[in-house]
Amino acid sequence: MAFRLKQRSRHAVWMRAGAAVLMGSAIAGMHYIGMAAASFPTGSRCTASALAKGSSWLSVAVVAGGFAVMAIARVSAVLDRIGKALALKLAASLADANESLTYVSLHDPLTQLSNRSLLEDKLRHTMRGVPNAEPALAVLFIDLDNFKSVNDAYGHQAGDALLVEMAQRIAALFTASDTVARFGGDEFVVAARFDSVGQAMLFADCILAAARRPFNVEGEPLRLSVSVGVALYPGDGESVHEVIRNADAAMYQAKAQGRDRQCFFDPSMTAHAKVHLAMVQELRTALERHDFVLFYQPQMSVTSERTVGVEALLRWRHPSRGWVAPSEFLPLAERFGLIVPLGSWVLNEACRQLAEWHRRGYGELTMSVNLSALQFADAGLADRVGEALANNQVGPGTLTLEVTESVAMENVEQSMRILQTLREMGVSIAIDDFGTGYSSLLYLQRFPATELKIDCGFVRQLTQSAEDVAIASAIVALGKTLHLKVVAEGVETEEQKRFLAVLGCDLLQGFLPGRPMPADQLWAHLCAESAACSAMEPPEETADLGGVAQ
C-alpha cells in the first residue's frame, strides 16, 4: 500500500490524505482503547509523576523527539523523491541505450543502411509473404568496380565518403518497403518487390545510371561504375542464403562480361562458380609450389632485324591438366586477389632472367612485363618494382612495364601519378593495345610513356583493310610526333613486316619474329642471330617443358 501511495497517479493526493486520516484514527483508537482497558488497584500511584514534578526535561525530550521524527520523515521523503527521479532517469537512459545498441547491431555504422543480419531477417520475412507462383521479389547484388584504386589513390577517408554517397544514391531509388543494405566492403544488396521482370531490369539500370554520375572526391570529379547481379524469388533459390549467393554469382558474371552492367542469374553460373573455386585453390597451390613459368616472345628491331627485347608471358604448368591457357586462370587470379602476388613473382622472375642474359653478354636486351589493372592500382607497385630491380641488379632502363590503354584511361589523374613515379625510377612505360580504347590525345601527351604498342587486331588485316592501314598509320604518326617508340604486335607475315617498316614502326612482335618460348629456347634464338654467341658460355640446362599452347 505504501509503495502504491508513492507512485504518481491521478488521485494520489486524495489517496494520501485518506491514508493519513486512517493512520491517525488507528493510532488514537489504539491509545484510548488501551487507556480504557487499563485498571489499577486502589491506592496505587505513578512513581514517574514524582520524577516529572518540577522538571521540564521530559517535555523537552518528547518535543525534540517528535521534531526529530518529523525531520527524518521529511528528509526521507525528499531523498525518496530524488531517488525516484534518478531511477526514472536511469530507466530512460537504459531504454535509450538498449534502443541504440539494437540499432547499431542491425545497421552499418558508416552508411546507416541495414547490415547483413537485418537484411537476411527482412528478406526472410518478405519471402514468407511472396506467393509460390511467378517471381515477385528481386535481390540485386551490387559491387563497385575497381574501388580499391580509390582507397589507394585518395585514402580510406575519401573511400568512405564515396561509399556513403553511393549508399545515398541507391537508397533514393527505392521505397521504405524495400530493403537496401550494405553487405560488406564495397558491396550493397537491395531486396525489392516487383510486378514484372522488366521492372527488375529497370531497378538494375537505375542503379547503373546512379553510379555513373561523377563523384566529388577531394574536389576532383571521379567516375566509377558498378556491376549488378540479379536473382529472383521464387525461382533462383529457396532460402535467403541461396538467393543472395546466386545474386552474387550473377554479379561476378557481370564483371566477367566487362563490368558496368547487369546480369540475371542462370543455373549454369553455380556450376561454373564451383569449377572456378576449385581452380582458385589450385592457383594458390601453384604459387606455393612454383608451377608457373615464364615464356619470352622476341621483339625485333625493324632496322637491324635483330632481337633487341623480349616480352615476358606467364604460363601455368598444371601437374595433372598440363598447360593451362592464360585466358582461363588470369581472370580468376584477378577476381580473387591473386594477381598481385602472382604479378610480383612474374616481375622478379623476369628481372632474374634478364640479369642472367645480361651476364652472358646481351647487356642491351630489354624486358617487357605486363601490369594488370589491380597491379597498376596497387599502392606498393613502385616499391615492388624497385625491389625486383635491386635484388637482381638490373638497370631500370632495361625494364619496360606495359599497361593497357583502357586501364591507363580509367582514372587519368591517378594513372599519371603512378606512371610519373615509375618514370622517375628510370623504368620505361608502354601503352599496350593502343587504338582499342578511348584515349584523349591531351591526356596521352601528358602521360610519361615511352612506347606505343599497336594492337594486333589492326595488324592482322593490314594488307587487306584500308581502315586498318589508316589507323596503324595514324598511330605511328602520333608516336613519332610525341617522340615515342612504336611497337607493332601480331606480325605474322613478311608482307606485314614490310608494310610496317614503310610506316615507320620501330619494333615488331609476333609469330614472324618469334613465338613465345621458354628461356633456354630464347637463348638459342639469340645465339642463332649472333655469330659472337660461340664465344659465350653455354646456357644452363633446363627441364623439358614439352608442348605449350600458343
Q: How far apart are alpha carbons 404 and 434 in whole angstroms?
A: 7
Tell me the per-residue pLDDT of 146-168, one tens digit each, with 9 for 90 and over: 887 787 777 788 888 999 999 99
When pLDDT is averaged across residues 27-33 and rounded to a whole number, the result is 74
Provide the pLDDT for residue 340.
87
Rg from Cα positions in the chain: 41
Tell me what the mean pLDDT of segment 471-480 comes to. Answer: 85
Q: What pTM, to 2 d.p., does this model score?
A: 0.58
In the predicted model, is pLDDT for residue 358 greater than 90? yes
Tell me what pLDDT residue 540 has: 47
Closest by Cα among 544, 494, 533, 488 to 365: 533
- The pLDDT value recorded for residue 310 is 95
Where does the pLDDT of residue 226 fall: very low under 50, low under 70, confident under 90, or very high at 90 and above? very high
pLDDT confidence of residue 441: 62
Question: What is residue 442's predicted lDDT score, i.e. its pLDDT?
Answer: 61
* Beta bridge partners of residue 229, listed in sequence order: 141, 263
Q: Is 429 in a helix, a strand, or coil?
A: strand
**Mean predicted confidence (pLDDT) in 98-109:** 78
Q: Give the pLDDT band (50/70/90) at residue 547.
A: very low
In whole angstroms, give the CA distance from residue 170 to residue 172.
Answer: 5
**Residue 327 DSSP SS3:** helix
pLDDT at 191 over 50: yes
CA distance 249 to 230: 9
Which residues have C-beta within 8 Å of that of residue 299, sequence separation ≥ 6? 307, 308, 309, 310, 311, 366, 368, 487, 507, 508, 509, 513
Q: What is the mean pLDDT of the chain?
A: 82
In the chain, where the domains are located = 116-266, 291-530
Residue 391 CA to residue 290 CA, distance in Å, equals: 19
The model's pLDDT over 10-21, given as tens digits with 9 standing for 90+, comes to 666 677 777 777
How far is Cα 415 from Cα 127, in angstroms, rounded to an integer?
A: 46
Would you say the CATH fold of 291-530 matches that of 116-266? Answer: no
Categorize the per-residue pLDDT at 56 as very low, low, confident or very high, splitting at 50, 70 and 90.
low
Determine the pLDDT at residue 545: 36
**Short-list 431, 427, 424, 435, CA closest to 458:** 435
Residues of the chain with pLDDT > 70, as a percent, come to 86
Identify which has the larger pLDDT, 491 or 410.
491
Length of the chain counted residue by residue: 550
pLDDT at 114 over 50: yes
Is residue 539 scored above 60 in pLDDT?
Answer: no
CATH assignment, 116-266: 3.30.70.270
Q: How many CA atoms lie within 13 A of 524 on its CB side?
A: 8
**Residue burial 117-128, b: 16+ Cβ < 10 Å; e: rest:** ebbbebbeebbe
> Are the CB atoms for 203 and 197 separated by under 8 Å?
no
Domain 291-530, CATH: 3.20.20.450
Average pLDDT rounded to a whole number, residues 280-305: 90
Cβ–Cβ < 8 Å for 217, 153 = no
Give the SS3 label for residue 158: helix
What is the C-alpha separation between 377 and 417, in angstroms, rounded? 11
